[in-house]
Amino acid sequence: MLRTVIIDDEKKAREAIRLVLDIYCEKVKIIGEADGVQSGFDLINGTFPDLVLLDVKMQDGSGFDLLKKFPEPEFIPIFITAYNHYAIKAFKYSALDYLVKPVDPDELVQAVNKAEKYTEKKDIYTKIEALNVNIADKFSEPKKIVLKTEQSIFLIDVSDIVNCESDGNYTTFYLKKDKKIVVSKIIK
């Protein structure tokens, strides 16, 4: 499931994007919408999306201003805009795709499918990286652990885990720097 947010200052544009996603993209879960740079920043920080569908020009800045606030984003940005001359700049900001309004539903579906494949590969590479680190010295304790949530897969240094708390079928991992990750696995 691709946890997705839509950031566009035009309400009708957000509604059109949502409609296409609801009809044609069953593996997309829209977890929020925002109408500007600041509200988009707050939304991303509060929901940790996999995919961000983003306009270029908004009332309080640009989609590029928003991406600058995330030097190493954990999400995939796809630009959807009325301006075709920002495409090269968008790809410099690691955009996976660039769609011009009015959005062609087929193009949006193709872009979302591309994002889905990218996310699957990223998850596999994360697991392989953890395995490689952990088998590098077979006589030592594992140095990394993979924690999978509904939203994402995290590769965590074991030394960053402060404590774990079990609650029924869930475990909360408390990490350094006041971060926490909740997984649907019990401690055994």
Q: The domain spanning residue 115 has which CATH number? A: 3.40.50.2300
Q: Which residues contact 91 (CB under 8 A, 6 or more apart)?
A: 98
* Residue span of the structural domain in which 166 resides: 141-183
Q: Which residues contact 48 (CB under 8 A, 6 or more apart)?
A: 3, 74, 75, 151, 152
* β-strands 144-148, 153-157 pairing: antiparallel
pLDDT of residue 66: 95
Number of domains in the chain: 2
Has residue 79 been placed in a domain? yes
Q: Of 74, 72, 75, which is closest to residue 54 (Cα–Cα)?
A: 75
Q: Which residues contact 185 (CB under 8 A, 6 or more apart)?
A: 169, 170, 171
Q: Do residue 167 and residue 75 come from a single domain? A: no
Q: Do residue 12 and residue 66 come from a single domain? A: yes
Q: Do residue 68 and residue 98 come from a single domain? A: yes
Q: Do residue 85 and residue 118 come from a single domain? A: yes
Q: Do residue 84 and residue 31 come from a single domain? A: yes
Average pLDDT, 10 consecutive residues per value, the chain (188 residues): 94 94 93 96 93 93 92 88 81 82 91 85 62 59 75 82 85 88 79
Global model pTM greater than 0.85: no
